[in-house]
């Protein structure tokens, strides 16, 4: 059974979260077969919400329960651009009169799925539009990725009213970090908090890449089962990948309860088809936000994605300008400096800053220059010799040296990451940059002594335990070298070679 499978935390990736067989009960789900829109499955709570028994709904075409306008609205939506039609105002005829819902309609796996949610009528649409426009304007003023994320967090909080908004960013290995936050004072901060990839398992990330907004209005809900949970076209369970009411993994519910979060929403940030991050919203009490507001948040996430793309490009351009400046400085320094080692030492700070490195070394055959945090000269010589054997002539790059080079185990905290560039094809001289272990540079903001009630699935489902798991995972690992950084290191090497050649020519002509 699914729950037992989910309960084994080593199998997180295998929980089939897209076919839970149930929904969250703040709305009603009706699965319809085309072309006559005959209901084939309905959530059990339809009885409590609409006073209609599931059997009665399953017995007739849906139009029997809708106003004439709603029935034609539904037909029009299905023959046109479905996604653009949502939300549909659906009028349901019940024994106690007409009830209007936000109808959210999609087609998937040979079925039409209609989900009915409460409507929000508190704000006028022009007011709302103004508010969203203001958010987008502010976002467009951001001048860095972090600033854009800060603004997005603030604007999403303003529009939704959640207690705490976090922007998570995924790393290349799918672990993640909270990089921006906006919150009320009484809820703890999770800013800078890191978590392991397994906290948001692979199948969840895949789902969040295609279905980008989800809401859990009340963590304490009782799931409402689909009757029956069977897709008559495929013979399998009903696939809720694109549903807005899909029941949430019980494992994740426990995680939220352990965090004292009782209402949540999250919006994916998808950049070039890859999940870049998430806007995650928490509330200490249950909270529902209407579909229109979720759409606005989706729009904000979209604008944020564009801003991130533009600003990341700009950051790379800015970096290459800095590379150029460092090169010029290097050239200048060498004008009145006889030795390569001396010249490099003079621009040590730039060489480190440019590569976000903590140490640098130039390891020649019988001469080593180093500055910042590096292994000892003896260790450096051994390391250079080893790199020259393992990777002769090429760029050597790792974010976890000790995993491939045993000797580094004793100093892996300060030099988990190494970037090595040989001076030339026939040269054993190496330019080496070092980065520290990433866990060393991060501190945990939460209170480890705060008592927490441990749920049926144990301690692992707590932010503190999950932070510890992340620390274990990244032991001996640095922040990886990015391609534009490696390119910059190669450019610095090329310049160093030019300088050496220039000096050689000068010497030659002086000797002639």
Candidates 301, 299, 296; CA nearest to 268 is: 301
Cβ proximity to ligand BLA: between 195 and 481 the closer is 195
Q: Write down the least CB distance from residue 9 to ligand BLA, Å.
A: 5
Q: Write down the least CB distance from residue 205 to ligand BLA, Å.
A: 9
Beta bridge partners of 397: 419
Sole window of 67-75, 188-196, 284-292, 327-335 interacting with ligand BLA (rule: CB under 6 A): 188-196
Measure the CA–CA gap between 368 and 361, rounded to whole angstroms: 7
Q: For the window 201-220, what string marks contact with ligand BLA as x by the rule CB under 6 A?
A: x--x----------------
Q: Which two tokens stand for residue 392?
A: 């002769």
Candidates 456, 8, 21, 6; CA nearest to 247 is: 21
Which 234-263 residues touch ligand BLA, going by CB under 6 A? Answer: 248-249, 251-252, 255
φ/ψ of 198, rounded to 5, equals -70, -15
**Cβ proximity of 296 and 304 under 8 Å:** no
Q: Which two tokens stand for residue 160?
A: 């939704």
Sole window of 64-72, 198-206, 223-231, 292-300 interacting with ligand BLA (rule: CB under 6 A): 198-206
Cβ proximity to ligand BLA: between 101 and 162 the closer is 162
Asked if residue 470 has a cis previous peptide bond (ω within 30° of 0), the answer is: no
Please name the residues in contact with 406: beta carbons below 8 A apart, sequence gap of 6 or more: none
**Token match 């944020």: residue?**
304
Sole window of 105-113, 200-208, 321-329, 383-391 interacting with ligand BLA (rule: CB under 6 A): 200-208
Query: Which of 190, 213, 238, 384 contacts ligand BLA by CB under 6 A?
Result: 190
Measure the CA–CA gap between 246 and 39, rounded to whole angstroms: 18
Q: For the window 443-472, what string marks contact with ligand BLA as x by the rule CB under 6 A?
A: -----------------xx-x--x------
Cβ proximity to ligand BLA: between 264 and 347 the closer is 264
Q: Write down the least CB distance from residue 184 to ligand BLA, Å.
A: 16
Query: Which of 193, 386, 396, 434 contacts ligand BLA by CB under 6 A?
Result: 193
Measure the CA–CA gap between 114 and 193, rounded to whole angstroms: 38
Q: Is 12 in the site for ligand BLA (CB under 6 A)?
A: yes
Beta bridge partners of 435: 417
**Cβ proximity of 477 and 400 under 8 Å:** yes
Which 387-446 residues touch ligand BLA, going by CB under 6 A? Answer: none
How big is the site for ligand BLA, counted in residues (CB under 6 A)?
25
**Cβ proximity of 326 and 431 under 8 Å:** no
**Cβ proximity of 421 and 397 under 8 Å:** no
Q: For the window 144-183, what string marks contact with ligand BLA as x by the rule CB under 6 A?
A: ----------------------------------------
Footprint on this chain of ligand BLA (rule: CB under 6 A): 9, 12, 15, 17, 190, 193, 195, 198-201, 204, 248-249, 251-252, 255, 264, 266, 278, 280, 460-461, 463, 466
């Amino acid at each position: 059974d699914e729950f037992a499978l989910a309960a084994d935390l080593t199998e997180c990736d295998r929980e089939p979260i897209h076919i839970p067989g149930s929904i969250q009960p703040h709305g009603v789900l009706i699965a319809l077969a085309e072309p006559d829109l005959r209901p084939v499955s309905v959530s059990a709570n339809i009885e409590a919400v609409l006073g209609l028994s599931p059997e009665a709904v399953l017995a007739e075409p849906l139009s029997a329960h809708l106003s004439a306008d709603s029935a034609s609205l539904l037909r029009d939506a299905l023959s046109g651009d479905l996604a653009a039609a949502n939300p549909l105002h659906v009028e349901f005829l019940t024994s106690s009169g007409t009830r209007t819902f936000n109808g959210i309609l999609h087609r998937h796996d040979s079925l039409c799925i209609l989900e009915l949610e409460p409507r929000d009528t508190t704000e006028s649409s022009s007011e709302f539009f103004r508010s969203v426009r203001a958010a987008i304007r502010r976002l467009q003023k951001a001048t860095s990725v972090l600033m854009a994320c800060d603004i997005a967090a603030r604007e999403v909080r303003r529009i939704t009213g959640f207690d705490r908004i976090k922007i998570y960013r995924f790393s290349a290995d799918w672990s993640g970090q909270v990089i921006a936050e906006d919150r009320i004072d009484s809820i703890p901060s999770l800013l800078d908090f890191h978590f392991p990839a397994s906290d948001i398992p692979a199948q969840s990330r895949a789902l969040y890449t295609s279905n980008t907004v989800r809401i859990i209005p009340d963590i304490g809900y009782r799931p409402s089962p689909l009757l029956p949970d069977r897709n008559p076209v495929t013979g399998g369970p009903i696939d809720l990948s694109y549903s807005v009411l899909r029941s949430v993994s019980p494992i994740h519910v426990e995680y939220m309860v352990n965090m004292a979060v009782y209402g949540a929403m999250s919006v994916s940030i998808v950049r070039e088809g890859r999940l870049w991050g998430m806007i995650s919203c928490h509330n200490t009490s249950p909270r529902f936000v209407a579909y229109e507001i979720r759409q606005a948040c989706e729009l904000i996430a979209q604008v944020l994605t564009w801003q991130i793309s533009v600003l990341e490009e700009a950051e790379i351009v800015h970096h290459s300008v800095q590379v150029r400046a460092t090169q010029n400085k290097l050239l200048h320094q060498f004008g009145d400096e006889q030795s390569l080692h001396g010249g490099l030492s003079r621009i040590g700070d730039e060489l480190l800053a440019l590569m976000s490195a903590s140490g640098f070394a130039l390891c020649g055959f019988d001469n080593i220059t180093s500055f910042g945090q590096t292994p000892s000269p003896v260790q450096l010589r051994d390391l250079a010799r080893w790199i020259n054997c393992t990777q002769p002539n090429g760029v050597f790059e790792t974010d976890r040296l000790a995993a491939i080079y045993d000797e580094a185990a004793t100093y892996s905290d300060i030099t988990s990451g190494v970037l090595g560039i040989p001076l030339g094809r026939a040269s054993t001289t190496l330019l080496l940059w070092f980065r520290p272990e990433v866990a060393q540079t991060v501190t945990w903001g939460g209170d480890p002594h705060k008592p927490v009630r441990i749920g049926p699935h144990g301690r692992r489902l707590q932010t503190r335990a999950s932070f510890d798991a992340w620390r274990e995972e990244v032991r001996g690992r640095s922040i990886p070298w990015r391609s534009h950084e490696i390119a910059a290191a190669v450019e610095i090497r090329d310049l160093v070679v030019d300088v050496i050649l220039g000096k050689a020519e000068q010497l030659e002509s002086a000797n002639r």
